Amino acid sequence: MFTTHSITSLFIYLTMANYVESNLLAFQGEMLKGLASHEVRELVTMALPYALKNQQFYQNLYDIRSIKESVQRPVYGYQFNRIASTGGTGMTTFPTGTLGSATQIPLTFVSFTETFATYNVSGLDNVFDFIKIAGNEFSQAMRNIRTRLSTFIVQSLYTNRTAYGLPGLKGANFNPATNAFEITNATPWSTITSIMRQNSYGGNMYDVLADPIMFQSFEFSQAQGTENATNLAYAFVKQGVPGPGKGRFSNVWEENNLGTTVPIEVAYTNGTALVMPENAFAFVPWMPANYYKPGFSKRFDGYEGGYGTIGDDRIPELQYQLFGWNTQTDTSGSNGYAQGQTQSWQIGITVAWLTAYLSNAGETPIYQFALVP
């Protein structure tokens, strides 16, 4: 009969016999990237890459830094205003007329920043070494800025959609309360190109940011072919000279911000889209001189601040302002070291948004279309 003591002794013996003391308990390792990637997944949107292709503001000048050399310096662009017809019906001996005019267009800059910190000793007693920890901090800050920029771009397009509906349009009704062209027929994509042509954009290719419902309509319509009951291929012609009867979509993207983080009219649950010709807006990144000019500290160690630039880890065309500051820190209370150091970081980007100027009040080249019952 086993006593409590003997049972305990047997348990100890058995565990020793099974080498428990040398078991590899509490294994620690980095998760596979595929499994870990879902936590930091990113909303798929083409808004930011699309905007980066529209960086030109001045003719033949891509580097805005050569113009805006100071945070105090305003930046303006100039263009001619449209001249209305004088309605003449015959040649005259002494013709008279008025001089045309130009418009001054200002650029307004806004900034998007993210802050985070690293501890220089945090990787010594951790599954992740310092390089991986710092890389994760930078990468996630960049992801957050990309997400915010994408929302800003879609919001800017939506806010600056045209508020002018040309009288007598055929195929769609312009609703001045929502600034949207409402479509009720079964061929919305052909109607969209028709409305754009009726508004004198017949010589342009069109880019489209469609909400998820409208994009489903696009994919379904595009899939219709000669084997199906309805052939809608005419609505999606992409080659040849733009003109009557040709669908002129250069890009149609599903924009998941439209209708979610960028709210739309509740009446347009059947689908909506923002449609525009090329060069409908300018997206102008700019960086103050202290981040790139010689004479400013580029060191991030020691006990001084440092300035610099860093490229985005997914979009090479995107460059961020970088500032870092190092201080002594006691992190012994959080599994760290009494003699530690903390690096405080901030990355950011400064951009200006400009919709193509039209002298007609409320009119822009950005059109909202909506499917209605």
Q: Which residues contact 81 (CB under 8 A, 6 or more apart)?
A: 100, 101, 102, 103, 359
Domain hosting 201: range is 173-280+356-371
Whether residue 12 is contained in a domain is answered as no
Residue 213, phi then psi, degrees to nearest 5: -70, -45
Q: For the residues 313-325, what does the mean pLDDT come to? A: 90
Whether residue 238 is contained in a domain is answered as yes
Whether residue 145 is contained in a domain is answered as no
Whether residue 148 is contained in a domain is answered as no
pTM of the model: 0.81
DSSP secondary structure letters along 242-255: --TT---EEEEEE-
Q: For the residues 3-13, what does the mean pLDDT come to? A: 39
Is pLDDT at 180 greater than 60 in this prediction? yes
CA 341 – CA 301 distance, rounded (Å): 9
Q: Copy the structure tokens of residue 108.
A: 């307004």
The pLDDT confidence band at residue 1, using thresholds 50, 70 and 90, is: very low
Is pLDDT at 269 greater than 80 in this prediction? yes
The pLDDT confidence band at residue 320, using thresholds 50, 70 and 90, is: very high
Give the pLDDT confidence of 10-30 residue by residue, as tens digits: 334 334 445 555 555 555 556
pLDDT of residue 69: 64
Please indicate whether residue 291 or residue 17 has the higher confidence score (pLDDT). Answer: 291
pLDDT of residue 129: 79
Q: Is the CB of residue 246 less than 8 Å from the CB of residue 189?
A: no
Of 221, 195, 216, nearest in space to 271 by CA: 216
Give the pLDDT confidence of 142-156 residue by residue, as tens digits: 999 999 999 999 999
Radius of gyration over every alpha carbon of the chain, rounded to an integer in angstroms: 30
Q: Is the CB of residue 271 less than 8 Å from the CB of residue 208?
A: no
Please indicate whether residue 318 or residue 305 has the higher confidence score (pLDDT). Answer: 318
The pLDDT confidence band at residue 326, using thresholds 50, 70 and 90, is: confident
Instruction: Write the single-letter amino acid at 225.
Output: G
Could you count the other beta carbons within 10 Å of the beta carbon of residue 207? 20
Is pLDDT at 113 greater than 90 in this prediction? yes
Is pLDDT at 291 greater than 80 in this prediction? yes
CA 313 – CA 138 distance, rounded (Å): 9
Give the pLDDT confidence of 88-99 residue by residue, as tens digits: 999 999 998 889
CA 338 – CA 3 distance, rounded (Å): 50
Give the pLDDT confidence of 200-227 residue by residue, as tens digits: 998 888 999 999 999 988 777 776 655 5
Maximal CA-CA distance, the chain? 133
Is pLDDT at 240 greater than 50 in this prediction? no
What is the number of structural domains in the chain?
A: 1
pLDDT of residue 53: 86
Is pLDDT at 358 greater than 80 in this prediction? yes
pLDDT of residue 39: 73
Residue 81, phi then psi, degrees to nearest 5: -85, 155
Whether residue 15 is contained in a domain is answered as no
Q: Which residues contact 369 (CB under 8 A, 6 or more apart)?
A: 172, 180, 181, 182, 183, 188, 191, 192, 195, 214, 272, 273, 275
Of 64, 57, 47, nearest in space to 350 by CA: 64
Cα dist. 180→57, 265, 267, 295 in Å?
A: 27, 10, 11, 52
Of 132, 142, 129, 368, nearest in space to 264 by CA: 368
Whether residue 274 is contained in a domain is answered as yes
Q: Are strands 367-371 and 281-286 parallel, antiparallel or unpaired?
A: unpaired
Whether residue 316 is contained in a domain is answered as no
Task: Please state which of the ranges 4-13, 141-150, 311-320, 364-373 shows the lowest mean pLDDT.
Answer: 4-13
CA 208 – CA 272 distance, rounded (Å): 10
pLDDT of residue 8: 41
Q: Copy the structure tokens of residue 343.
A: 């690096």
- Exposed, middle or buried, 237 (CB in 10 Å: 0-12/13-18/19+)? middle
CA 103 – CA 83 distance, rounded (Å): 13
pLDDT of residue 224: 65
pLDDT of residue 317: 86
Q: Are strands 206-210 and 180-183 parallel, antiparallel or unpaired?
A: unpaired
pLDDT of residue 272: 96
Could you count the other beta carbons within 10 Å of the beta carbon of residue 211? 26
Instruction: Write the single-letter amino acid at 6.
Output: S
Is pLDDT at 186 greater than 60 in this prediction? yes
Is pLDDT at 170 greater than 80 in this prediction? yes
Whether residue 275 is contained in a domain is answered as yes
